[in-house]
Amino acid sequence: MQSRIIKNLRKDFLIEFRNRSALNISFAFAGITTLSVSLACGGASLSSQVNAVLLWVIIFFSGMSGLSHIFIREEEEKTALFLSLCSDPENIYLSKLLFNIILFACITALVTPLYLFFMQVVPVYILYFISTVAAGSLAVSSITTILGAMVAKAESRGSLFTVISFPVMIPVLWISIKLTADSIEGGAPPEVRSILFLLAFSGVIISVSYLVFKFIWTEN
């Protein structure tokens, strides 16, 4: 099982680095928006809430363009059948999930320091801030992986992704923004429970996705 996941993962990274479509779009979006926001603010100090909202808007949209792409590309290039013949559905799901988690971690690792640097924001609770960004990113990656698979098998791809991601993304982004604002602002000691909620949310999404993926992936 492990070797098959590694083979799938290696193949996806090889294709991604040769195409660089998702990476280029994500990194370009991240760089341009961070720089634009910082120039538009002109050194003005924003409240912790506004900083948290802006940071998550940039992280979210930088990642979204790339994350759903991983399954849709298999369908568009008609390689999904080949992939199904080489791996069982569970291995396909786990390798795509890992790919999305790594890709999103790279995007977040680029966007977050850039944002903090250009906006001159120093979080009061730095560990809490890092944990929030990491847990929020994991939740976003786990949601977009399974939604990407569902959309790839559906006809009206682009619009469907937006519609079905809306209700599941809202609680994740809402909590992530609140926690990020708390960690930037300082004051009351941070709530570890909320970070645990984000991790538990990802755990539930990943477990359910693992169980149902076979039914999504196999044609009816």
Partner 1 sequence: MHNKYSLNVNKISKRFGRQLLFRDISFSLVTGDSFFITGPNGSGKSTMLQIVAGLQKSTSGDVSFFMDEKKIPEDERFRHFGFASPAMNPYDTLTAVENIMFASSGIKKENIDEMLNLFGLYPHREKHVGIYSSGMKQRLRIILSMINSPGILLLDEPSSNLDSEGKDIVFSAIEKLREKTLVIIATNEHDEMKLCHKGIDIAEQNY
| List of residues contacting partner 1 (CB under 8 A) | 7, 11, 14-15, 18-19, 77-79, 81-82, 84-89, 214, 218-220
The DSSP code for 218 is S
* Cβ distance to partner 1 smaller for residue 85 or 188: 85
CB of 85 to partner 1, least distance (A): 5
CB of 64 to partner 1, least distance (A): 23
3-state secondary structure of 40: helix
CB of 216 to partner 1, least distance (A): 13
* Cβ distance to partner 1 smaller for residue 71 or 129: 71
Q: What's the token pair of residue 47?
A: 């409240």
* Cβ distance to partner 1 smaller for residue 12 or 182: 12
The DSSP code for 44 is P
One-letter amino acid at 130 equals I
Region class of 147: left (phi > 0), else alpha (psi between -120 and 50), else beta: alpha
Count CB-CB contacts under 10 A for residue 128. Answer: 22
Count CB-CB contacts under 10 A for residue 97. Answer: 24
CB of 122 to partner 1, least distance (A): 42
CB of 21 to partner 1, least distance (A): 10
Single out the residue of 144, 4, 164, 156 nearest to residue 70, CA to CA.
Answer: 144
Unique residue bearing structure tokens 């795509």:
96
**How would DSSP label each residue in 19-38?**
H-HHHHHHHHHHHHHHHHHH
In contact, 111 and 58? CB cutoff 8 Å: yes
* Cβ distance to partner 1 smaller for residue 35 or 86: 86
CB of 193 to partner 1, least distance (A): 39
Q: What's the token pair of residue 34?
A: 């961070």
* Cβ distance to partner 1 smaller for residue 201 or 217: 217
The DSSP code for 59 is H
* Cβ distance to partner 1 smaller for residue 81 or 126: 81
